């Protein structure tokens, strides 16, 4: 039985908890959160999520507010780190040094230097460090990558990606660029990372961003430049009205088909081939979170599942987003 602890029990910590709970062969035995009211606050928050299957069984959990004590006393094999982003590096490194496997939420860190320190700590330990870029595991996104990689529909001509919603209402730290990296590093990086997963590192990026009256960026759109002439654009925003809700979507134009996904539409996933009828491909069951956690658990167990994400790629996604932010600030394209 893999003994798992969750560090940071907010929105994503509870998500990790639910996924680990559903996985056979693993057990969440401890939680570390600095919030002294975490039990009451969790009950409130879980009650607000429509369809949340069950609350959290705090009776079965050892609760810690001190991370050093948690690492020393909880007798864990692995941790899920779902803390505000600026805390990812130090907390991940400490867990690796304590001999634990680490699944750390995206983005890896806010600077390349911190990413490098995390990679060094992983290299010096015999434990797994994986960054939770869940979109790589999202069934429709994973299936799309397969369809592009095997060349069945020919070359990609154009690809556009959107991720649009409201700013997270639950954590003040999101509004602080120094703690979250802002909309580009927190939200839009999902699509930046998927662009990298599909097409590799771009040669350059050109971005524009819009700022809210209070000053912070709320919307970014980037063109990713490759050596060939395909058009690749991703747009991320958290300035939508609450009534808009949330959209993650893409349209990928290939020589012999258009592949389209929009989580707000039914059917969400469509392949429209040049010859034949539009159809919705079969995809893996579950969602990006459950498949990602299953993948991490199998990696930790030494099952060697096909590699989906490396630390170098996780770092490169941070590198691309930093270039996007520089491009947007300086109104020029930035080479990578």
Ligand X SMILES: NC(=O)c1ccc[n+]([C@@H]2O[C@H](COP(=O)([O-])OP(=O)(O)OC[C@H]3O[C@@H](n4cnc5c(N)ncnc54)[C@H](O)[C@@H]3O)[C@@H](O)[C@H]2O)c1
Give alpha helix (H) positions in 23-87. 38-48, 67-73
Nearer to ligand X, 8 or 139 (CB): 8
Among the listed residues 191, 146, 174, the one whose alpha carbon sits nearest the alpha carbon of residue 281: 146
Query: Under a CB-based contact definition with an 8 Å cutoff, are residues 8 and 82 in contact?
Result: yes
Nearer to ligand X, 159 or 318 (CB): 318
Nearer to ligand X, 202 or 288 (CB): 288
Cis, peptide link before residue 79, omega less than 30° from 0 = no
Query: Under a CB-based contact definition with an 8 Å cutoff, are residues 230 and 187 in contact?
Result: no
Query: Could you tell me the smallest distance in angstroms from the CB atom of residue 150 to ligand X?
Result: 27
Among the listed residues 246, 175, 235, 185, the one whose alpha carbon sits nearest the alpha carbon of residue 210: 235
Buried b (16+ CB within 10 A) or exposed e, 57-78: eeeebeebeebeebbeebebbb
Euclidean distance between CA atoms 255 and 3, whole angstroms: 48
Q: Which residue is nearest to ligand X (CB)?
A: 10
Euclidean distance between CA atoms 297 and 303, whole angstroms: 9
Query: Could you tell me the smallest distance in angstroms from the CB atom of residue 258 to ligand X?
Result: 26
Query: Could you tell me the smallest distance in angstroms from the CB atom of residue 81 to ligand X?
Result: 8
Nearer to ligand X, 71 or 259 (CB): 71
What the block records as the tokens of 144 is: 């799309």
Nearer to ligand X, 10 or 202 (CB): 10
Residue matched to tokens 């979109």? 135
Query: Could you tell me the smallest distance in angstroms from the CB atom of residue 2 to ligand X?
Result: 21
Euclidean distance between CA atoms 20 and 80, whole angstroms: 9
Query: Could you tell me the smallest distance in angstroms from the CB atom of residue 286 to ligand X?
Result: 14
Query: Could you tell me the smallest distance in angstroms from the CB atom of residue 73 to ligand X?
Result: 15
Number of neighbouring beta carbons within 10 Å of residue 213 = 6
DSSP string covering 123-174, please?
HHSSS-EEEE-GGGGSHHHHHHHHHHHTTTT--EEEEEEEEE-BPPSS-GGG
Nearer to ligand X, 158 or 176 (CB): 176
Query: Could you tell me the smallest distance in angstroms from the CB atom of residue 193 to ligand X?
Result: 10
Residues at the contact surface with ligand X, assessed by CB under 6 A: 8-13, 32-35, 67, 82-85, 87, 105-106, 132, 134, 168, 170-171, 186
Q: Hey, is 254 helix, strand or coil? A: strand
Query: Could you tell me the smallest distance in angstroms from the CB atom of residue 268 to ligand X?
Result: 17
Nearer to ligand X, 17 or 269 (CB): 17
Nearer to ligand X, 103 or 122 (CB): 103
């Amino acid at each position: 039985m893999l003994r798992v602890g969750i560090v940071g029990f907010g929105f994503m910590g509870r998500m990790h908890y639910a996924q680990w709970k559903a996985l056979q062969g693993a057990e969440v035995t401890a939680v570390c959160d600095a919030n002294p009211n975490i039990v009451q606050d969790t009950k409130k928050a879980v009650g607000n999520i429509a369809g949340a299957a069950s609350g959290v069984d705090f009776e079965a959990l050892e609760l810690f507010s001190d991370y050093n004590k948690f690492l020393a006393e909880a007798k864990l094999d692995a941790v899920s780190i779902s803390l505000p982003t600026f805390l990812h590096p130090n907390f991940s490194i400490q867990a690796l040094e304590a001999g634990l496997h680490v699944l750390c939420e995206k983005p890896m860190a806010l600077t390349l230097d911190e990413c490098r320190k995390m990679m060094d700590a992983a290299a010096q330990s015999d434990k797994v460090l994986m960054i939770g870029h869940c979109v790589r595991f999202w069934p429709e996104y994973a299936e799309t990558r397969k369809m592009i990689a095997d060349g069945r529909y020919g070359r990609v001509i154009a690809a556009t990606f959107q991720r649009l919603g409201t700013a997270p209402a639950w954590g003040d730290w999101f509004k602080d660029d120094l703690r979250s990296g802002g909309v580009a590093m927190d939200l839009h990086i999902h699509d930046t990372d998927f662009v990298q997963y599909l097409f590799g590192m771009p040669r350059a990026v050109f971005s524009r961003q819009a700022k809210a009256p209070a000053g912070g960026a709320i919307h970014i759109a980037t063109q990713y430049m490759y050596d060939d002439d395909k058009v690749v654009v991703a747009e991320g925003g958290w300035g939508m009205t609450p009534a808009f809700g949330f959209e993650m979507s893409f349209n990928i134009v290939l020589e012999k088909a258009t592949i389209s996904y929009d989580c707000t539409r039914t059917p969400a996933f469509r392949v429209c081939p040049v010859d034949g009828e539009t159809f919705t491909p079969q995809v893996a069951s579950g969602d990006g979170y459950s498949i990602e956690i299953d993948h991490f658990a199998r990696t930790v167990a030494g099952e060697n599942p096909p590699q989906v994400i490396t630390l170098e790629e996780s770092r490169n996604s941070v590198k691309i987003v930093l270039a996007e932010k520089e491009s947007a600030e300086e109104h020029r394209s930035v080479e990578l």
